[in-house]
């Protein structure tokens, strides 16, 4: 910037004004400065700028996901990017892989770079690292998780009602023995969906059979084993509700292998590509990750714009998509 000022024969502050589009610079000086910028390939340094500026904004936010490569997470990521772009804000992302230590390190890395705010899928049960930063004044929005503190906004889907609807849908097709496959129960969504399953059974007057419930199952392979085991019970389930997309995948494999994919009903939580091209097409409780991300980002920017209202929990609805697997009727 000094060089630009020298070449244009103006003061530093005039260059600053031109770069930031501030009014009150004569057209002639503006032209000289612009030309000098071009000649010198000058690139404004926004890090230095934000260091000095009164609001200290970096126009950068941090995004902590479980895994940026996961289709659900990456859709959330993309939605947040789209909102951020409108505000000329960039997104720093990190994958925790469910590791609280990694979460803490990413939060530190974000704050040391002075991000304006954070959107996170918290993983540590106590949410300590994130709560501390919130208390120190960093705007934070949780996505796909509820906060243990009333100080943090969160945006989630209606996990529990969604799961309940899946069970009721299966029951409406005559099923009374509905199996459940759920992720590790320390994950908030896994617990919520399980509770939704329990409520669904109750609402239909069905008994909860412990043998038909498999929780703490994670990953495709373990899900396949769990379902295969369930199918070998003396009284196997006639329908299955899988509460996470990898578990759905494992269940499909197990049903295929057993040759029962057209006889046992299946509804999975979370949609996935090719679901309608499978045999039978897979019915799901579809989440809307794009809307989830957009809503979370919008909330964060409201906070950045000075909104000091009490933290809210925004719920984005899920949608039952009936494609076939969930409509296989119970056959005596």
Partner DNA sequence: TTGAAAGCGCTACCAA
Partner DNA sequence: TTGGTAGCGCTTTCAA
Phi/psi at 235 (nearest 5 deg)?
-120, 85
CB 312, min distance to its own copies, A: 26
Phi/psi at 286 (nearest 5 deg)?
-85, 135
The entry of its own copies, DNA, none near residue 225 (CB within 5 to 8 angstroms by kind) is none
Asked if 182 contacts 215 with a C-beta cutoff of 8 angstroms, the reply is: yes
Work out whether 23 is an interface residue with DNA (CB under 7 A): yes
Work out whether 35 is an interface residue with DNA (CB under 7 A): no
Work out whether 309 is an interface residue with DNA (CB under 7 A): no
Closest CA to 223 of 233, 236, 214: 214
Closest CA to 160 of 199, 206, 204: 199
Which of the ranges 153-161, 171-179, 275-283, 315-323 carries the binding residues for its own copies, by CB under 8 A? 275-283
Which of the ranges 8-16, 229-237, 247-255, 267-275 carries the binding residues for DNA, by CB under 7 A? 8-16
Half-sphere exposure of 155 (CA within 13 A, CB side): 22
In the set 16, 189, 242, 249, which binds its own copies (CB under 8 A)? 249
Work out whether 92 is an interface residue with its own copies (CB under 8 A): yes
Work out whether 14 is an interface residue with DNA (CB under 7 A): yes
- Closer by beta carbon to its own copies, 58 or else 214: 58
In the set 6, 68, 208, 233, which binds its own copies (CB under 8 A)? 68
In the set 30, 34, 44, 176, which binds its own copies (CB under 8 A)? 44
Work out whether 78 is an interface residue with its own copies (CB under 8 A): yes
Asked if 180 contacts 194 with a C-beta cutoff of 8 angstroms, the reply is: yes
The entry of DNA, its own copies, none near residue 25 (CB within 5 to 8 angstroms by kind) is DNA
Contact footprint for its own copies (CB under 8 A): 41, 43-48, 50-51, 58, 60, 67-71, 73-75, 77-78, 81, 85, 88, 90-95, 108-114, 132, 136, 249, 252-253, 256, 272-274, 277-279
């Amino acid at each position: 910037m000094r060089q630009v000022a020298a070449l244009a024969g103006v003061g530093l502050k005039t260059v600053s004004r031109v770069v930031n589009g501030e009014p009150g610079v004569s057209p002639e000086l503006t032209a000289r400065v612009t030309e000098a910028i071009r000649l010198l390939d000058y690139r404004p340094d926004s890090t230095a700028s934000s260091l000095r500026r009164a609001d200290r904004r970096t126009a950068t936010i941090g995004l902590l996901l479980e895994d940026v490569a996961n289709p659900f997470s990456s859709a959330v990521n993309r939605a947040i990017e789209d909102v951020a772009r409108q505000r000329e804000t960039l997104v720093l992302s990190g994958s925790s892989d469910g590791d609280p230590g990694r979460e803490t390190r990413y939060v530190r890395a974000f704050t040391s770079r002075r991000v304006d705010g954070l959107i996170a899928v918290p993983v540590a049960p106590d949410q300590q690292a994130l709560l501390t930063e919130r208390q120190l004044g960093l705007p934070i929005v949780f996505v796909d998780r509820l906060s243990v503190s009333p100080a943090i906004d969160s945006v989630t889907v209606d996990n529990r009602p969604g799961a309940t609807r899946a069970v009721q849908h299966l029951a409406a097709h005559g099923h009374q023995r509905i199996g459940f496959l759920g992720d590790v129960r320390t994950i908030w969504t896994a617990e919520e969906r399980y509770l939704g399953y329990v409520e669904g059974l109750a609402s239909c007057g069905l008994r909860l059979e412990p043998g038909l419930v498999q929780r703490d199952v994670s990953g495709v392979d373990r899900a396949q084993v769990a379902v295969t085991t369930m199918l070998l019970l003396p009284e196997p389930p006639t329908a299955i509700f899988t509460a996470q997309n990898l578990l759905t995948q494992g269940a499909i494999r197990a049903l295929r292998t057993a040759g029962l994919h057209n006889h046992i009903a299946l509804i999975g939580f979370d949609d996935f590509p090719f679901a309608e091209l499978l045999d039978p097409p897979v019915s799901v409780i579809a989440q809307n990750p794009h809307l989830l991300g957009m809503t979370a980002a919008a909330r964060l920017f409201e906070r950045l714009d000075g909104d000091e209202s009490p933290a809210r929990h925004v719920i984005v609805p899920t949608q039952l998509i009936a494609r076939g697997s969930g409509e296989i009727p119970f056959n005596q």
